[in-house]
Every structure is written in structure tokens, then in C-alpha cells.
Amino acid sequence: MTATVTELDMEVVQGFAFKVFGDITAQQMGPLTTVGDRLGLWQTLAEIGPVTSTELAARAGLHERYAREWLAAMACHGYLKYDAETGRFRLPAEHAFVLSNTDSPLYLRSVFSMSEASWRHIDQLAEAFLHGGGIPQSEFGDRFWCGFERFTGASFKNFLNQDWIPAVPSVDAALRNGGSAADIGCGNGQALLTLARAYPQATLIGYDNYAPAIAAATANARAAGLDDTVRYAVRDVTEGIPGSYDLITLFDVVHDAPHPVQLLTAVARALKPGVHLLHPGVQLFRRRPAQPRASAGDRRLRLLREPELLHDAGAGGGWPGHRDVYGRGAPAGVRDRGRLRESRAPGVCEQPVQHLLHIADLTPSQ
Ligand SMILES: C[S@@+](CC[C@H](N)C(=O)[O-])C[C@H]1O[C@@H](n2cnc3c(N)ncnc32)[C@H](O)[C@@H]1O
């Protein structure tokens, strides 16, 4: 039975209503921020400094009315500052670090453009809730994957060669001396392109079972002049990985793979003995569990939990194999169930959004 108003703590009700209202507003910022992204408005604001709506309209080729409303919405939401005396809007340098600086470790603008796909698939998602199954990866489209590439690319640019690889000195040494690395679920290929810049002697190959990602990665390598250094190939890694490697990386792959145990088993078989796997997000997985309380106040967890429902369930085909790994969280769950064995304690590097697990000697247990 629904509680009557007199039974309710109206302060709590009001606080929660404002929270929901804030979420609605934030959600409405998605399309507006994405329009700004597509039309280069964030870049323009960062370059030209404080503007009136007329100036922005002239510079970006917009209708002035739209420029005015967009600037006002962004100022109301706190993304821009407004100076009532001059009638100018400006993007503070600290906000530019998040919204327009593509080299920043906290560059987040492209994430907005990814939610477009989630809304587009809302009917299919509701069907999946009722009947299982998922939404094919291809239906998320190039814009989603390009947004994802820009998001994770910022992490690779800032952490891969500076922190993650040097955190495991033997891997650093192997790659400097012509060793090999495979990036599994390489997507549009940015991790290996970043690695190739610091380790030109290394043999680098990326595998992904989604052909358009491999086409995009190959084009990216060509555009970067690195197509002699890095190779990409279409491959479903659960069917095995050719060759053996000094380093295997899995960036944002295991949690949405339809068959994570098979995937990790193939990875374990392709690692040279005593060598290394880098796999991010593990601290989050360990704390991911079922209890909502564990994640309620943790924005980093929320950032990963929501995409998991909106995208990963779909691309993962409804997670047919996930119970195998995620019963208690991965890769702890992997160990607990005796499918795979970590033979040494993981070392963890931190970055603003994720943690990174380094596992040495992940081996199949039978
Ligand atoms: C969320 S994306 C991550 C892309 C990239 N690693 C990054 O961080 O930008 C996950 C990728 O894993 C790939 N993937 C999932 N299962 C796979 C499998 N069994 N074999 C190869 N690739 C797989 C998907 O096609 C997708 O491109």
C-alpha cells in the first residue's frame, strides 16, 4: 500500500525529488552537449575566450537564437560562466580541461555522445529485460564506438606509457628489446598506437571480433603512420590466440564479453610463462557486488554500472557466460571458482576513473 503524505518524511521526499530533478536536467544536457561537440562549439569557446551569443553564432555559423539558448543552458548548468555586465559567456580553464582538452586525463566530452545509442535502443533493451538476449554490437554504430575510442584514448595517452607499463619493469624491458604485446578486444586500436610510440621495436597486434573496429583501427594506424609497426586482425579470441606474448592487455573487455571464462582461458594460454596481463577496472569489480550500498556514494562505480546495463548486457548477448566469472567479482571470481589461477599477487596502479590490475602468470587450472 502506498504511504500517505502524513506518514512520509517530507524533507526526505523533497531532497529525493530534487535529486531526480537534477538527474533529469543532467540527462537533458546530453543532447545539448553532444550538439556542441558535433559543431565544435567547445573547441571554439576554448580558443576564442568570452563571447556573446552573436559572436559565437558568427564564429561557428549558427543561428543566433540557438547560440543564445545553448549558451544560456550551459551557463545555467554550470558548464559556462556568464558575466551579466558584458553579456559574455566563457569556458573556465578548469572546465576546458574536462570538455575541450582532448589530451586531458579527465577528458569526458565524448561520453555524452555515447548515450544517444542507449536511447535509440530503449525498446530492445526493455525486451531484453523481459526475455533475455541482447542488442548486437553493430547496432550501437560508429558514433558510439568513436565516442568510446575518444574516452579510453585519453587514458591510454596519459597513463599507458607513463605509469601502467613502467609499473611492471620486466614488461617495459621486454618491449624495449623487441618483445611482443597483444591487445585483446582492441576496439579502434588506440592502446596499441600509444604503445607503438614508446616501444617502436616491439611486435604489436590487436585482436577484436568486431570487424568494423578492426577496419577503424587499421585506418587509425595508417593515419598515424604506424601501419608498419602495429597490426590488427579480426578474431574471436575465445577460439584461441595465435602465438605467445610478453604482454597481453584487456582494456574494458572482460566485463562485457559474452564468454569471459573462455576469453581469459585463451589469454592465459597465449602468455609466455612468467609474463603479464594488464586488465583495468579490477578494484571496481571487487567492490562491484550485488549490495547497492557498496556503490551508492561512489561516482566511479556508477559510471561503470550504468553503461554495463545500457550497453554491455547488449553487446554481451545478455551475458550468457557471465555467471561463471562474476559470481563474486572478477578476477577474484575467476580464482575462487578454480577456472584460472593467479600465481602472484596483483599490483595495482590508480588513475582517476579506474584501477589497473597486473596479473603475473594467469594459467588455466587444469
Ligand atoms: C568496450 S570495447 C573496448 C575497446 C578498447 N579495448 C578500448 O578500451 O577502447 C570491448 C571490445 O571487446 C571486443 N570483444 C568482446 N569479446 C571479444 C572476443 N571474444 N574476441 C575479440 N574481441 C572481443 C568487442 O568487440 C569490443 O570492441
Testing ligand 1's pocket by substitution, the residue of 183, 253, 267, 354 carrying the most ligand atoms inside 8 A of its CB is 253
Give the CATH number for residue 147: 3.40.50.150
- Of 49, 70, 101, the last residue of a domain is 101
Shared domain for 253 and 119, answered yes or no, is yes
- In the prediction, which pLDDT does 291 show? 36
Q: Are 288 and 265 in contact (CB under 8 A)?
A: no
Do 83 and 199 belong together in one domain?
A: no
**Stretch 326-341: mean pLDDT:** 38
pLDDT band for position 351 (cuts 50, 70, 90) = very low
Q: Residue 52: which domain range?
A: 5-101
Last residue of a domain, one of 57, 81, 101: 101
Averaged pLDDT score across all residues of the chain: 79
> Do 83 and 157 sit in the same domain of this protein?
no
Q: Is 152 in the pocket of ligand 1 (CB under 6 A)?
A: yes
Helix, strand, coil content of the chain in percent (nearest 5): 55, 15, 30
Contact 311, 253 (CB under 8 A): no
Q: Whose CA is nearest to atom 13 of ligand 1?
A: 185
Q: Please tell me whether residues 141 and 81 are part of one structural domain.
A: no
Please state, in angstroms and rounded to a whole number, the distance separating the CA atoms of residues 334 and 365: 10
Number of domains into which the chain is organized: 2
* Residue of 135, 193, 205, 209 with the most ligand 1 atoms within 8 Å of its CB, for mutation: 209
* Predicted pLDDT of residue 253: 86
Confidence band, pLDDT 50/70/90 cuts, at residue 274: low
- Tell how far the Cα of 292 is from the centroid of ligand 1, in angstroms: 27
pLDDT at 93 over 60: yes
Together in a domain, 327 and 216 = yes
* 215 and 304 fall within a common domain: yes
For 71, list phi and psi in degrees, rounded to 5.
-60, -40
Ligand 1 closest atom vs CA 262: 19
48 and 159 in a single domain? The answer is: no
Q: Per the confidence metrics, is the pTM higher than 0.75?
A: yes
User: Predicted confidence band at 3 (pLDDT cuts at 50, 70, 90)?
Assistant: low
Cell 559567456 sits on residue: 89
Compute the distance between CA of residue 116 and CA of residue 129 in angstroms, rounded to an integer: 19
* Residue 227 shares a structural domain with residue 340: yes
Dump pLDDT digits (tens) for 302-324.
Answer: 333 344 444 444 444 444 433 33
Q: Residue 309 has what pLDDT?
A: 45
Atom of ligand 1 nearest to the CA of 311: 1
Distance 130 CA to ligand 1 centre (A): 26
Three-state secondary structure call for residue 107: coil
Among the candidates 73, 101, 129, a domain finishes at 101
**Residues 89 and 116 occupy one common structural domain:** no
Same domain flag for 238 and 341: yes
What's the pLDDT score for residue 298?
37
Asked whether 237 lines ligand 1 (CB < 6 A), one says yes
